[in-house]
Structure 1
Amino acid sequence: MAKYMDVHYGMKDITADQLAAAHRADLEIEAEEHVHFERAWADPTSGRVYCLSEAPSAEAVQRIHERAGHPASEIYPVPISV
């Protein structure tokens, strides 16, 4: 499966607990779309949140995020990593 990095905007002042809760919401339903969210990062000052996942498509990533209540603003394929 391919890897994807997605970005969420508008999450200014997000706390570590809120980020963890959002990540758990994705994890609870990710298998329904054959997605696996590996990790999430946040910058509370800018309001940006980044998520790294493995998925069959960017659309599958977006469907999980939408159902979990936090649709991604942008989703990028990550074809090369080290």
Structure 2
Amino acid sequence: MSKFIDVHHGMNGISGDQLREAHAADLALQGEEGVSFERAWADPESGTVFCLSEAPDAAAVQRVHERAGHRADEIHPVPLSV
């Protein structure tokens, strides 16, 4: 399993409740793709949302996001962390 950070653009004005709802939608589907979403962050002003996950590959992350209704614009592997 690898770690991934994905980025969503265009979510201007997202509220804390909306972020929690989007994250909950991912959590509800993650097991079907072998993904574990760990955390999500948002900047309502820029409309950027970031998600951290552990998954077999980036495609699995994208499939969960697509099914949850918020396709990721970018998915980046995170091969090193401290």
Normalised to the residue count of structure 2, the TM-score between the two structures is 1.00
Aligned counterparts, 1:55-70, within 5 A: 55-70=55-70
- Tell me the C-alpha RMSD between the 2 structures: 0.2
Q: What is the aligned residue count? A: 82
Structure 1, unaligned runs of 5 or more: none
1:39-67 CA distance string (max 9 Å, x none) = 00000000000000000000000000000
Q: Does 1:49 pair with 2:49?
A: yes
Deviation at 1:69, TM superposition (A): 0.1
1:5-62 CA distance string (max 9 Å, x none) = 0000000000000000000000001000000000000000000000000000000000
Equivalent residue number for residue 15 of structure 1? 15
Q: Does 1:80 pair with 2:80?
A: yes
Q: Does 1:28 pair with 2:28?
A: yes
Normalised to the residue count of structure 1, the TM-score between the two structures is 1.00
Equivalent residue number for residue 39 of structure 1? 39
Aligned to 1:14, the other structure's residue is in SS state coil
Question: How far, CA to CA, are the matches of 1:2 and 1:38 in structure 2?
Answer: 12
| Equivalent residue letter for 1:43 | D
Aligned to 2:46, the other structure's residue is in SS state coil
Question: How far, CA to CA, are the matches of 2:67 and 2:21 in structure 1?
Answer: 14
